[in-house]
Amino acid sequence: MSRLLTAFRQRFLRSIFAILLTLISSLILPGATWAASSLGIDNGHLSSCPASDNCVVSQNADEKHAIDPIAYHVDRNAAREILLKVISVVPRTEIVEQTDNYIHALSKSRIFQFVDDVEFYLPPNESVIHLRSASRVGESDLGVNRRRAEQIRLALRDLNI
């Protein structure tokens, strides 16, 4: 009898866990917001953010999605190299594309492995790094993209760029 109760309890707990996971993911993942065409530079600008609350961008943004670009006072190539080094130590982040004026990285969340696209644009005639950080899915990121961008800004400031 005790064995039957233990098996029932385990099956019940698995069912509860599956229901909770479904509820949580339906809140976090109500619909995909990511599109590959929204990445990169178009006419000297990073793409704007979707209406969802899981994106920040430093160019042409509304109040909800706006973040300041990162100013630098060193040579543009030096700023780019230092930025690459900083990105390389951001946990669970991998650089997937880089040119002389653009960097695209993927950053994954620790538990559910949600992917965020993190982009940096170094325009040739300005001493700033424009950035965009956006979740691929869901409506809210609980501020993760903004915090990541600000942590990168602070790291660059500490390195006196």
The predicted-structure confidence for 73-84, as pLDDT tens digits, reads as follows: 999 999 999 999
Cα(80)–Cα(136) distance, integer angstroms? 25
pLDDT at position 38, please?
Answer: 84
Confidence of residue 23 (pLDDT cuts 50, 70, 90): very low
Q: In the predicted model, what is the mean pLDDT of the chain? A: 86
pLDDT at position 101, please?
Answer: 97
pTM (predicted TM-score): 0.78
Cα(60)–Cα(35) distance, integer angstroms? 19
pLDDT at position 13, please?
Answer: 53
Q: Tell me the mean pLDDT in the region 87-106.
A: 97
Cα(132)–Cα(74) distance, integer angstroms? 22
Confidence of residue 24 (pLDDT cuts 50, 70, 90): low
Cα(115)–Cα(140) distance, integer angstroms? 13
Q: Tell me the mean pLDDT in the region 88-97.
A: 96
Contacts of 150 (CB under 8 A, 6+ apart): 67
Confidence of residue 10 (pLDDT cuts 50, 70, 90): low
pLDDT at position 22, please?
Answer: 42
Contacts of 140 (CB under 8 A, 6+ apart): 28, 52, 53, 54
Cα(102)–Cα(132) distance, integer angstroms? 11
What's phi and psi for 92, nearest 5 deg? 55, 35
Q: Which residue has the higher pLDDT, 27 or 125?
A: 125
pLDDT at position 112, please?
Answer: 87
What's phi and psi for 71, nearest 5 deg? -80, 150
Residues 31-75: tens digit of each pLDDT: 444 455 589 999 999 999 999 999 999 999 999 999 999 999 999
